[in-house]
Chain A
Amino acid sequence: MIRYIIRRFLMMLPVLLAVSFVVYFLMDLAPGDIVSMMAPQDATEVEIEMMREEMGLHGSLPERYFRYMKNLLKGDLGMSLSMKRPVVDVFFERFPATLKLAFGSIIVAMIISIPLGIAAATHHRSWLDGASMVTAMLGLSMPSFWLGLLLIILFSLKLGWLPSGGSGSFASIILPAITLGAGQAGNLTRITRSSMLEVIRQDYLRTARAKGVSEKKVIYKHALKNALIPIITIFGSTLGNALGGAVAIETVFSWPGVGRLTVSAINNRDMTLATGCIIMFTIFLTLTMLLVDIAYAYVDPRIKAQYSK
């Protein structure tokens, strides 16, 4: 198991280098650079060239990428070109807000999807099954920013219950978490339902039923326990979704997350910040996946046995 973890860590390095290359290359391909955006309107060509040098944007693409990569290998993501501060600092100032939103949305998604999934599975192929699935998928099928705007109008403007944006108080996370969570609930419901269906038909549950254990108890005590295992696996991908896919929601709710930061870095052609943010995302996602794998092995002995082979 430990060897497996170490191997996964070592494998991260080439992946990160490749990610940095892909993003750096894409950013370089994008027309325009930060200097032409930031230079005063009356700057001369010489001054603009000077600024490029100052920001380390001089030379050909391989030269520039090589310089960047050399620092990256030392663990240095460089300075943000637009903010003139270390990329790591800028990223970690905003990261907590993103994490909070991600976890908030996962909680919302679980609250919505576990009951719906159970209802659908226990009433398989009945109208309740269909209705639950359609409800769950409704959230998945709406453009998230649209749902967000509608929620703002209803809950903060018409009813005045919740703030429309910001991240200051606990109340302000509720609407963005619901918006993001509603989108993820669809997948989660689907998984809960199918894993429940699988479990329900297993022999030991039939035995339990035959022994006269009440249906409710069968579902909640035995079936749910096993059905929840696959939910851990989806935890990783859901978290990834919440991290990167929340850009539009962060914009609607003025949530100070990293998604918005990355998009504005791309728009402003802040090469180092954009590349750095995406590298940090990748690191975090890979770590989450690893953690999920370990957790999975922990709950399911069969998998643990595989790793120790």
Chain B
Amino acid sequence: MVKEKYSVEELNAYKKRSIASEVWRNYKKSPSAMAGLIVIFIIIVVAIIAQIVYDYDVDIVQQDIMNRLKEPSSEHLFGTDQYGRDVLIRVLYGAKYSLSVGIVSVAISCLLGSSLGLIAGYYGGLVENIILRACEIFMGIPSILLGIAIMSAFGQSLLVLMFAIGLVYVPMFARTARAAVLPVREQEYIEAAKVSGVSDLRIIFTHVLPNSMSPIIVQITMGVANGILTASSLSFLGLGVPVPAPEWGAMLSSGREFIRDYSYLTFFPGLAIMITVLAFNLMGDGLRDALDPKLKQ
């Protein structure tokens, strides 16, 4: 049976579904993008299972000095570190930290940055100018140095690290969001909504945001990758997540003095970072292609 009349809501919903499925169809075409997605899924599952299986106070904190620096073997697949702790367990458990640093910091920069960008793009004029100038100020400071300054000011902890990285990337989101809003701003349906007295907030959320989503989505996936890498750089410079938390960057950094004789100490966390970041980058790239109408064939 075919329904004859559709309400506007249903039509909208259908449109949304069709856009999503269109994007998904496009996305599926790229094997590298699919590989990225699958890897991310696996990492998230591993991170969750590790939280359930391992006990922080026993498997992560406790040391076994007598069994330190044992090469990878059947007993310890990834070997043991300088305190005799199992590297495999730490890498698995550490997925939580790296993922959460990446995701939470992006959430912060996306929320702050996109709202600023939407406001700037939607209202234009003085508001836009002020927001853009402020972005310029923060973009003028090299991101890693700004991160270091923030970490120095507020101390070393997981939370500060997330905020530092999040704040650093706010201007990027603001600019992306604003650029995405600009073409939408001039559209007739926005004018129509304004005339019919719909509140600005409602217009932004129901009309502007959905139509400028795609560059922001791409920026989010790339942002997670960037966040994880920035965190590892900060750890290397001694400003990352404090030990004994097995964040991958911190593991890399504490293992680097052993890189000559016990390279597995840095190899596995380095590999973990690389695979995760690569997966997010591939996914971002796939999304970019899938969302970009110009490249559709």
Contacts and interface: CB of A to CB of B under 8 A. Distances in A.
Interface string B131-172: 001101110111111001110111100000000000000000
Nearest to A138: B278
Given A26-B153, A143-B229, A144-B233, A149 B259 contact: yes
Interface string A229-270: 000000000001101110110010000000100110011000
Give chain B's interface residue range (CB within 8 Å of chain A). 35 or more
B82 interface: no
B281 A141 contact: yes
B249 A143 contact: yes
Contacts of B155: 31
B153 A190 contact: no
A248 B149 contact: no
A247 B237 contact: yes
Interface stretch (B26-34, B73-81, B201-209): B26-34
B97 interface: no
B294 to A, nearest CB: 7
B256 interface: yes
A246 B277 CA distance: 19
B26 to A, nearest CB: 11
B140 A138 contact: no
A130 B32 contact: yes
Contacts of A241: 142
Contacts of B154: 29
Interface of B (DSSP majority class) = helix
Interface stretch (B105-113, B118-126, B266-274): B266-274
A303 interface: no
B180 interface: no
A141 B141 contact: no
Contact of A19 (B141, B232, B252, B282): B141
Contact of B144 (A27, A190, A244): A244
Which of B30, B141, B278 has the largest count of A CB atoms less than 10 A from its CB? B141
B277 A245 contact: no
Interface in B277-292: 277-278, 281-282, 285
A95 interface: no
Interface in A17-45: 18-19, 22-23, 26-27, 29-31
Contacts of A137: 278, 281-282, 285
Given A146-B266, A244-B143, A259-B145, A251 B32 contact: no
Contact of B236 (A18, A27, A29, A248): A248
Nearest to A28: B153
Contacts of A286: 140
Interface of B: 29-32, 133-134, 136-138, 140-145, 148-150, 152-155, 225, 229, 232-233, 236-237, 249, 252, 256, 259-260, 263, 266, 270, 273-275, 277-278, 281-282, 285, 294-295
29 contacts: A14-B133, A15-B140, A22-B138, A27-B152, A27-B153, A29-B153, A130-B31, A130-B32, A140-B225, A140-B277, A143-B232, A143-B249, A143-B274, A144-B233, A145-B256, A153-B259, A194-B295, A241-B142, A244-B142, A245-B143, A251-B237, A259-B145, A266-B152, A278-B141, A278-B142, A278-B145, A278-B149, A285-B140, A285-B142
Interface of A: 11, 14-15, 18-19, 22-23, 26-27, 29-31, 125, 130, 133-134, 137-138, 140-146, 149, 153, 186, 190, 194, 197-198, 240-241, 243-245, 247-248, 251, 259, 262-263, 266-267, 274, 278, 281-282, 285-286
